[in-house]
Amino acid sequence: MEFIQSKQNQRIKDWRKLQTSKGRRKTQQYIIEGQHLIEEALRSQVNLLTILVTQKFLEQVTNQPVFKQQLMASGIEMIEVTNEIMASLTMTETSQGVLAIVGMNPLGQVSQKLNGDYYLLCDSIQDPGNLGTMIRTADAAGFDGVLIGEGCVDLYNDKVIRSTQGSLWHLPLIQENNSTLMTYIADRQLPVYATALHQEAKSYRNLAGQKGVLVLGNEAKGVSSNWLKFADEKIYIPMPGRAESLNVAVAAGILMFAWSEESKML
């Protein structure tokens, strides 16, 4: 196994650029951290290019013959690096001593024509934890894909990836500008339900069992006017308590599981 000791090594310097959205876009690569995500990536046939490990991780992994065997059998390039290099590449405070460089799959290529019945649309979701959690929940609810509209945080941000817990590899993620997404939706003739304020909207409970696209909007501003105009119906979640609003990922979960429950499972 190759061993890199210098932080000035050219490959290390190149990989460090993957910490920015610009660097990721340019090279079409991103970083995933930790054993759990790498296991999930191996299962999901993701394009893993290189795995970097520290001495300490190599010692620990000897106690995990299954994972070690998976790594070895994968044939993926493995490189040992110093703790200092690992720390310079990771975004988490307490690194497990293992990360991987991943090649992006061409986003959305799989299904430029939407071919499912249930989609979540994220409109200007700014918090990486929220976007990642929404993708994870859409996966859990059995949705057919997540449409990522304008104004969202970079999908390959490390916190987004961590929050998806690997779900980003389980269902189509289609990131396009809003007008392209609207064309896809119109082609498929899917009804669009946008979350909105109480006064102007129907309770989501009246809509269970409908196929369509569920639009959730920005944490502070809600769904943008473009999507509100495009929507066939505006829906809201009745809240008997005193809170003014719900966290957007929680709201998405309540809505997706209400739909899923009625329409797919009963």
Q: Contact positions toward its own copies, by CB under 8 A?
A: 129, 133, 136-143, 163, 165-167, 170-171, 205, 237-247, 249-254, 257, 260-261, 264-265
Q: Give the single-character DSSP code of 243.
A: -
Q: Shortest gap between Cβ of 82 and its own copies (angstroms)?
A: 28
3-class DSSP assignment, residue 86: helix
**DSSP letter string over 29-62?**
EEEEESHHHHHHHHHTT--EEEEEE-HHHHHHHT
Q: Shortest gap between Cβ of 242 and its own copies (angstroms)?
A: 4
- Give the nearer residue to its own copies in terms of CB position, either 57 or 143: 143
Burial of residue 205, with CB atoms counted within 10 A of its CB: 0-12 exposed, 13-18 middle, 19 or more buried: exposed
Q: Shortest gap between Cβ of 221 and its own copies (angstroms)?
A: 14
CB 67 within 8 A of CB 35: yes
Q: Give the single-character DSSP code of 99.
A: E
- Give the nearer residue to its own copies in terms of CB position, either 66 or 243: 243
- Give the nearer residue to its own copies in terms of CB position, either 171 or 182: 171
CB 227 within 8 A of CB 215: yes
> How far, in Å, CA of 60 to CA of 213, rounded?
45
Q: Give the single-character DSSP code of 149.
A: -
Q: Where are the alpha helices (DSSP H) in the chain?
A: 10-16, 21-27, 35-43, 55-61, 65-74, 83-89, 128-140, 158-164, 178-188, 225-230, 248-260
Q: Shortest gap between Cβ of 259 and its own copies (angstroms)?
A: 11
φ, ψ for residue 103, nearest 5 deg: -85, 135
Q: Shortest gap between Cβ of 58 and its own copies (angstroms)?
A: 23
- Give the nearer residue to its own copies in terms of CB position, either 78 or 258: 258
Q: Identify the CA nearest to 123 among candidates 115, 131, 133, 113.
A: 131
- Give the nearer residue to its own copies in terms of CB position, either 73 or 265: 265
- Give the nearer residue to its own copies in terms of CB position, either 157 or 163: 163
Q: Shortest gap between Cβ of 68 and its own copies (angstroms)?
A: 22
Q: Shortest gap between Cβ of 126 and its own copies (angstroms)?
A: 13
- Give the nearer residue to its own copies in terms of CB position, either 171 or 235: 171
- Give the nearer residue to its own copies in terms of CB position, either 90 or 163: 163
Q: Shortest gap between Cβ of 44 and its own copies (angstroms)?
A: 9
**DSSP letter string over 170-184?**
TS-EEE--HHHHHHH
